Structure 1
Amino acid sequence: MLTESIKKHKIEYLLVSFVDLFGVIRSKLIPASKAKVAETSGAGFAGFAAHLNLTPAHPDIFLIPDANTLTPMAWQSNVAWITGDLYMEGKLIEHAPRNVLKRVMADAAKKRVTMMTGVEAEFFLLAPDGSRISDERDLLGKPCYDQLALMRRFEFIKEVCDAMQDFGWEPYQNDHEDANGQYEMNWHYSNALQTADRHVFFRFMTKAVAEKHNLRVSFMPKPFSALTGNGCHTHCSLWDASGKKNLFLDSKNLHQLSEKAYQFIAGVMHHAPALSALTNPTVNSFKRLNAKTPDSGATWSPNGISYGGNNRTHMIRIPDAGRFELRLPDGAANPYLLQAGLLAAGMDGIENKMDPGLPRDENMYDIFTKLKVKKLPATLHDALIALDKNRVFREALGGEFIDSYLKLKRDDWSRYMSQVSDWERQSTLDC
């Protein structure tokens, strides 16, 4: 199958890639003539060179390509990107992100359900050095849906959107987002694994195409203190094994969601503190959550653990029948771990028949401090503590993954804490 696809698309090289625990894409460029060798034996990597909690003493790791993920690079048509599963000494690496997601999905499949998701990947278009937004004329106080700013970036957007159409992703809208210099491009939902694979490639594609246009793409959660941050809102529904029946749809129930959907939502809310360690995985992530109001007038990010109808001030929004939107994740989220954590949390809610309570209609930005609503973690450190204590995630995602992730992220936090910022010097130098 892989060889046939390579011939069909006239591919000369394969960019064989995987994502490590920090969401970094690692790759090797392989001549298409060696594709069969890669498909059977795998492409070899030194695991210590990536964020995988391995040492220089560990043997090589091998990526076995998944032919279903082969994606010709539209901007470099003789090269195709492909991902797959990581092995070491013939065994799956339990804590590799894509393997973690596949294991959680397999557990759900045993219950004859599959999760369908779509993501809204927000990003900034910056100057090449990353110091400022790229469009000096993008100055509106409320720039969301700014037509002129959108069309000044038409060539970039068209190239990416055309590629997604060629891939069969069914992109359906592109817009200028709430911050100056910020954009969003949407494509059709799919099963959680395919969505994650496409999300990984989308991040790579936008960055590569941006470089062609002398631009720089950033998914950083909060690159500018006065501007809205980059979210990665995730739409979710649960379907039966045949993929024909939406188990979240109930036209006779509140907001046209089924009891199972509300149980799933309750699970996500219950596990939100631990989940945030996966959906908001950087120090900077928590400068988007609980943030002060930016210049546009709203953060568009949650400030507590709540849900409501078509109300964007809640962590969970119900925009339409048969699905909900999780507004917690940000642009730094590892695509595989985002999906794995969401599914594990929701399935626990169903298994234990959790109740989310009644949805709220209030503007959470106005009255959050007056309500008895659970808060999200204030820092990455707090989120990691919640993840460490979460037994459900340890069982569903795997103890080896949890321990590896915590170790690397705690090291990341320690490196952050060892830095002294300009703000600290300015505010405390004369103490």
Structure 2
Amino acid sequence: MKTLDFVPRDHNHFLQILRYGERADGSSLFPGTGISAGASDIVLRPRLDSAFVDPFSSEGTLAILCDHLSRSGEPLAQSASTIVRRAFQRLTDTAGFELNALGEIEYFIGHKQIENQTERLEDKGYHAAAPFVFGQDLRRRTLSVLSEIGVPVKYGHSEVGFASAQNGSELTWEQHEIELALAPLPHAADNVALTQWVLRNLALEHGVEISFEPVVKKGHAGSGMHFHFAPTKDEQYLPVIDDKGKVTEWAELLIAGLLSSGCSLMAFGNRTPSSFVRLFQGKESPAGVTWGQFNRKALVRLPITMTDSSGASAYPETVEFRLPDGSANPHLLLAGIAQASCLAYSMKGRRELLESLHGDTAFQAKPQTIPVNSKEIANLLEQDRGTYEADGVFPSTLIDGELSRLRSQTE
């Protein structure tokens, strides 16, 4: 999150800011994306429907998210906000439905060991309640603030991870999760960024550390950032499973896209060296390129959905992508998933792909493994760049920048 502050001089100045925005340095806001310092002026244009009162400002402050425009007034190609909106629209035009998503934001709270603290078992914190968790008040306050600023929330709870202060560490780390509600892809990406912003501010107020790192201590449960997806058509959610117990066409399309492009999507969803620690220490993270119902070790999962007395789904049915973690860029990741889904729309043999990579079948035949380092991700991203750059959604300069970052990353 970045900030540009204004104090309106009068009513006309206020309207001018809202209508036209302000100039900014694009090369500083979007480094490594091909914007040169010699021609770096861009426009920040307020998105009025995103406005909320800043809950953390000591001064009364109206906060508004902005779109990014080029000097000619067109959406800025290098902006992650532009990219996810273009990808969302392309998928809508291609497949005939609007894709919605929600993020599961897992995070660790760290504080100094408190004498006589209630004893806890390592990595046994799932759905624990106070006094057995110290982060409950912060989590509940986060839910309230998110509601106040317009971010729809599903629920929050404590998670498995708990690593006590030891081996020279002063901090005890405790894991929590906030699951958001479904929203169209561009809004879902904004909601993830806003949730992390709220959590960081509240952690500062509470005097504790917060981390979205995939792993805070080796050998302990890590933090993912799973995403659930559900499309709407004519304002109605579409089912994942049909009346015959088969995967529906839209779900088949999305699953095929995630399976075929999931590993190169790690460029946007698994961006730090500790991403690989989380994935390869065997703590309910994906072990191979597979999918299945209910399986928490699959790359793609079809979670259970509650039903009413007639057996009909009481909530939208979703497809869950379990590979990303807290290092993800949510806008680029969701844009990449939309592009992968567009590719799968015209893919021949989708049904056969799903049959071969279903968990029961794939594990018998040794499934394709996920990349073990950033250089492998770079090779896959270069191989799949045509998927992401299709119809000009991802600029080639941005993909070049990601390749450079991945190949220079120290494991």
Give the TM-score taking structure 1 as reference length. 0.79
Aligned match of 1:422 = none
Give the letter for the 1:94 counterpart.
A
Q: CA deviation at 1:46?
A: 1.6
| Percent of paired sites with the same residue | 19
Q: CA deviation at 1:330?
A: 0.6
| Structure 2: gaps (5+ residues) | 163-173, 306-316
Task: Write out aligned runs for 1:198-347 (5 A).
Answer: 198-240=191-233, 242-244=234-236, 246-254=237-245, 257-289=247-279, 291-293=280-282, 299-320=283-304, 322-347=317-342
Match of 2:401 among 400, 407, 413: 407
Give the letter for the 1:109 counterpart.
T
Q: CA deviation at 1:269?
A: 0.3
Question: C-alpha separation between the residues in 2 aligned to 1:409 and 1:213?
Answer: 38
Q: CA deviation at 1:394?
A: 2.0
Match of 2:135 among 139, 153, 159: 153
Determine helix, strand or coil for the equivalent of 2:104.
strand
Question: C-alpha separation between the residues in 2 aligned to 1:45 and 1:302?
Answer: 41
Q: CA deviation at 1:186?
A: 1.9
Q: CA deviation at 1:125?
A: 0.8
Question: C-alpha separation between the residues in 2 aligned to 1:249 and 1:206?
Answer: 32
Match of 1:187 among 173, 180, 187: 180
Query: For residues 412 and 259 of structure 1, do their structure 2 counterparts lie closer, same or farther at Cα, with a shift above 3 Å needed?
Result: closer
Q: CA deviation at 1:152?
A: 2.6
Post-superposition CA distance 1:85-131 (Å, at most 9, x none)? 21221232212101001111111232331101111000111249xxx
Aligned match of 1:9 = none
Q: CA deviation at 1:65?
A: 1.2
Query: For residues 300 and 406 of structure 1, do their structure 2 counterparts lie closer, same or farther at Cα, with a shift above 3 Å needed?
Result: farther
Give the TM-score taking structure 2 as reference length. 0.83
Alignment RMSD, CA only?
Answer: 2.8
Determine helix, strand or coil for the equivalent of 1:28.
coil
Note if contact 1:123-1:182 (Cα within 8 Å) is conserved in structure 2. Answer: yes
Determine helix, strand or coil for the equivalent of 1:312.
coil
Question: C-alpha separation between the residues in 2 aligned to 1:253 and 1:84?
Answer: 46
Aligned match of 2:170 = none
Question: C-alpha separation between the residues in 1 aligned to 2:175 and 2:114?
Answer: 8
Task: Write out aligned runs for 1:345-356 (5 A).
Answer: 345-353=340-348, 354-355=350-351, 356=353
Note if contact 1:239-1:248 (Cα within 8 Å) is conserved in structure 2. Answer: no
Query: For residues 114 and 179 of structure 1, do their structure 2 counterparts lie closer, same or farther at Cα, with a shift above 3 Å needed?
Result: same
Note if contact 1:124-1:219 (Cα within 8 Å) is conserved in structure 2. Answer: yes
Aligned match of 2:105 = 121
Match of 1:45 among 14, 24, 42: 24
Aligned match of 1:87 = 69
Note if contact 1:123-1:218 (Cα within 8 Å) is conserved in structure 2. Answer: yes
Determine helix, strand or coil for the equivalent of 1:78.
coil
Note if contact 2:83-2:394 (Cα within 8 Å) is conserved in structure 1. Answer: no
| Structure 1: gaps (5+ residues) | 1-24, 294-298, 418-431
